[in-house]
Amino acid sequence: MSATRLTRILWQVVFLGLFLWLLWRLAEGDPRDYPYPLLHQLDPLSAAGVAAAAGTLPRALAWAGLLLVLTLVFGRFFCGWICPLGTLQQLASFLLSPRSRRESLQVNRWRPWYAIKTYLLAGLLGAALAGTLQTGLLDPLSLAARGLGAGLWPLLPGGRAVPGGWLAAALLLAVLLASRFIPRLFCRAFCPLGALLGVFGRFALFRIERGGSSCSDCQLCRFACQGADEPLGDHRPAECHVCLNCLDQCPEGALAYRFLGRASPDPARPDLSRRYLVGSFLGGLLSAPLLRAAGGGRGTARAELIRPPGALPESRFLDRCVKCSLCQQACPTGAIQPAVAQAGVEGFWTPVVVPRRGGCEFACTRCGEACPTGAIAALAPVRKTGYDGRPPVRIGTAFVDRGRCLPWSMGVPCIVCEEMCPTDPKAIWLDRVEEPGREGRVARLQRPRVEPARCVGCGLCENRCPVGEEAAIRVTSVGETRDPLNRMLLGPPA
Amino acid sequence: MSDPRRPPITRREAVVRLSSATLAAAAVGAGTLGFLDRRVAVAAGAEIRDWRVAPPPGTPPAAAARGGTPSENVRRAVAALGGIERFVRPGETVLLKPNVGWDRLPEQAANTDPQVVAELVRLCKGAGAKRVLVADISCNDPARCFSRSGVLAAAGEAGAEVLDARKLPLVAANLTGAASGLEVIAPLLAADKVINVPVAKHHSLSRVTLGMKNWFGVLGRGRNRLHQDIDRCIAELGATFRPTLTVIDATRVLLDNGPQGGSLDDVKAVGAVLAGTDPVLCDAWGAIQLGVDPRSLGFVAEAEKRGLGRGDPRLVKELGKA
């Protein structure tokens, strides 16, 4: 194995390791302040999508521009050297499919339908421009983090399955299994980030160059080509992952990766049908209102649509959320879950708080720290709790279901919700009553009541309520700080 | 570097490739910097202007006319304040905010009388107003309210643009206190002058509904929570929305079962119209037309406490019958 190849594999191991390690530390609740969303913030697909949907590029995503500039110099090195999903596919391809040389040559040929990824990119950016950000569905970093975090991780001993997680896992596994048949099929044919990098990769200053005189047309360079970019024929820099395997394979030393290397005779732009490209862009544009309508629109607040603390107002939130599931990994109680139906069709896989699974710890602000795009603002704990003197950040309001509550309806003493209530003074207070019970016995009861002006909607009450499947105190989104229209109570005097 | 197998590329090609890569890099840089934090995550609300005009010394803060037709009463009352020209300049856009809340006929006195609205439109047009807009977010279906109240036809004939409440754009405004976070109809914020044209009615919570309460109608969804502390909220709205003029329609007043009414037994023909620049004074006069002592009204006291005006009806210049 050549030093080049060893170096590349080392890079891939390091970045895959970093990706997994950050995800692991995040899920473990490591109190250290690691840059958890680092790799996600370098993602130009997220940056372009958010900029198109929100009309603004959050500062956290600005470094993604640097990756594009580096791509202009070196080509799609991100795909071959950094992308964790690329590395995982390469690994899957290596482990799952011992191929004969003939088969290898066969599967590493370029195919015209690899242009699908560019049409997908056009469609996703069209949709973002029309106001619905869906790049996260196929973004390789989101796809990998979500598949691992929401799908596979919870299956480890001690984990709890996540609603909608199986689909995230299925997508990830399908991507990996596809490499059994065609190496890196996802990268080659479906990855919108790869397509975006390819748009810039065609300008790459460093590229694979074939020395015509010494090449014996032996085709060995195709043997391990990751991008199916035809180093032997009309090399396609827009497809090339810069894995440099071809250099390694060439027995004649006829290939080189050189600054201003000679381009192949054909300028080798991505082979695209202009009609399909425009069609997919328009399709994306039109899909935005459809997706929105299918979910009932963004305008109406929904009871179960409880967003994590610090989440922007719904419309701005959806313009920024890339469905990476990092907030869900970060949540220490498992309260944050990927939405299946709560957020409509366009909000599929965006994070929601499900109090019955976990309460929102009063002073915890990890979800905002993990969010790569600022869809969930990073709050200071004093801001979230309201200890800075301003009203606390609310995500909803708790309501007692008097028909299910033990002291309200069964004559059974219980104070668990009041005990769990973290605000100071408590939003839940106890109304002391004596109630005639069956056969003349007098029951002394403390009935929980909610003072809505103090409730932050954390759901710790709902989470700990001893009344099984459906709690006797439940949180809905009304009163959430982020939506001034989703309120019931009057504000304080001017 | 001079490998005989790899002759260098031509100078021309090198220049083309270097410059196209540089251009692309510049485009990335420009795009990044151009979009960087271009919009703040949460937009600030729009400013609500002060539409008042400083009165010349000697003019009364309010004047009431009675006995004539609604149009005559409007003309006399406005003339007593120095004439509409004092308030509306040529070329301005004026927004009239009548109360067209309900699917009721003029005889039922649940909405502002259409002739009062129409006469104000004619006065503003006569003073050279470029556009006169009429807007209210009704409680019932706006199409029914505007049509059955007669306001759509009368104001339209007089030359106003009667805005379709179902299509009124709502924008975030920098409201404070109780109404903070609510949205306001956009044409109001863009208007040069604003005339508040309520009808005097009974109300089950605030006891009477007049000028300051009429601002509910420019607010969007969520305004119904303002009923939780009605007197404070009415006064806060009075502090937020400062109209050029308040014109109170007491042609017919609704004495009971407000603010919708329905029965003609609850309607009293008073035949008066008041125009004024002090919204608290206007509301105090309106209360008297309903047989209510303004000193007993919580929102009048709240408004006086905030310095929005003086609820002493003796300050009104009564013009008597024509």
- Can you give the pLDDT at residue A230? 85
Q: Is A214 on the interface with B (CB under 8 A)?
A: yes
Are B21 and A204 a contacting pair at CB < 8 A?
Answer: yes
Q: Do B39 and A494 touch (CB under 8 A)?
A: no
- When pLDDT is cut at 50, 70 and 90, the band that residue B5 belongs to is low
Whether A295 and chain B come into contact, CB under 8 Å, resolves to: no
Q: Inter-chain contact A263–B13, Cβ cutoff 8 Å?
A: yes
Mean pLDDT of B67-80: 96
Q: Find residue A432's DSSP bridge partners.
A: A446
Q: State yes or no: pLDDT of B1 exceeds 50.
A: no
Interchain CB contact of A259 with B (< 8 Å): no
Q: Which residues of A touch B3 (CB under 8 A)?
A: 211
Please, are residues A146 and A85 in contact by the beta-carbon 8 Å criterion?
no
pLDDT, chain B, mean: 93
- pLDDT higher for A88 or A28? A88
Helices (H), A140-218: 140-146, 165-181, 185, 192-201
Q: Nearest-CA residue of chain B relative to A50?
A: B35
| Cβ A381 vs Cβ A31: under 8 Å | no
Chain A residues with beta carbon closer than 8 angstroms to that of B42: 312-313, 316
Give the pLDDT band of residue B175 (cuts 50, 70, 90). confident
Which of the pair, B7 or A252, is modelled with greater confidence?
Answer: A252
With CB atoms and an 8 Å threshold, state whether B178 touches A490.
yes
Give pLDDT tens digits for A236-263. 889 999 999 998 888 888 888 988 877 6
Interface with chain B: mutation pick from A56, A250, A483, highest number of B CBs within 10 Å? A56
What is the average per-residue pLDDT within A146-150?
Answer: 94
A57 touches chain B (CB under 8 A): yes
pLDDT exceeding 70 applies to what percent of chain A? 97
Q: Is residue A212 very low, low, confident or very high in pLDDT (cuts 50, 70, 90)?
A: low
For tokens 């970045």, what's the residue? Answer: A15
- The answer to whether residue B42 scores a pLDDT higher than 70 is no
Chain-chain contact of A65 with B226 (C-beta, under 8 angstroms): no
pLDDT tens per residue, range B262-289: 999 999 999 999 999 999 999 999 999 9
Question: Is the CB of B41 inside 8 Å of chain A's CB atoms?
Answer: yes
- Please determine, for residue A379, whether its predicted confidence score (pLDDT) is greater than 60: yes
Cα separation, A23 vs A37, whole angstroms: 9
CB contact under 8 A, A214 and B229: no
Centroid of chain to Cα A472: 33
A204 touches chain B (CB under 8 A): yes
Interfacial A residues in 114-173 facing B (CB < 8 Å): none
pLDDT of residue A360: 97
Q: Which of residues 1-30 of B touch A (CB under 8 A)?
A: 3, 5-6, 8-9, 13-14, 17-18, 20-21, 24-25, 28-29
Q: How far is B215 from chain A (nearest CA, A)?
A: 16
Q: Contact at 8 Å (CB) between A46 and A136?
A: yes
Q: How high is the pLDDT of residue B43?
A: 62
Contacts with B, A 79-98, CB within 8 Å: none
If you average pLDDT over residues B235-243, what whole number do you get?
Answer: 96
Top pLDDT among A385 and A300 is at A385
Percent of chain A at pLDDT > 90 equals 71
Average pLDDT (B214-232) is 92
- Asked if A203 lies within 8 A of B17 by C-beta distance, the reply is yes
How far is it, in rounded angstroms, from Cα A347 to Cα B168? 28
Confidence of residue B231 (pLDDT cuts 50, 70, 90): very high
Q: Which has the minimum average pLDDT: A433-437, A462-466, B113-117, B192-196?
A: A433-437
Rounded CA-CA distance B197/B177 in Å is 24
- Per mean pLDDT, which range of A107-116, A155-164, A427-436, A456-465 is the poorest? A155-164
Lowest mean pLDDT across A189-198, A430-439, B106-115 = A430-439
Band the pLDDT of A266: cuts 50, 70, 90: low
Q: Which residues lie below 8 Å from residue A45, measured CB to CB, with a gap of 6+?
A: A121, A124, A135, A139, A192, A193, A196
**Token reading at A363:** 């002073």
| Averaged pLDDT of chain A | 92
Task: Quote the pLDDT of residue A264.
Answer: 65
Question: For A55, how many CA atoms within 13 A lie in the half-sphere containing its CB?
Answer: 10
Nearest CA in chain B to A67: B28
Residues of chain A in contact with residue B2, where contact means CB-CB under 8 angstroms, are: none
Q: Percent of chain B beyond pLDDT 90?
A: 81
Output the CA torsion A5→A8→A13→A16 (10° steps): -140
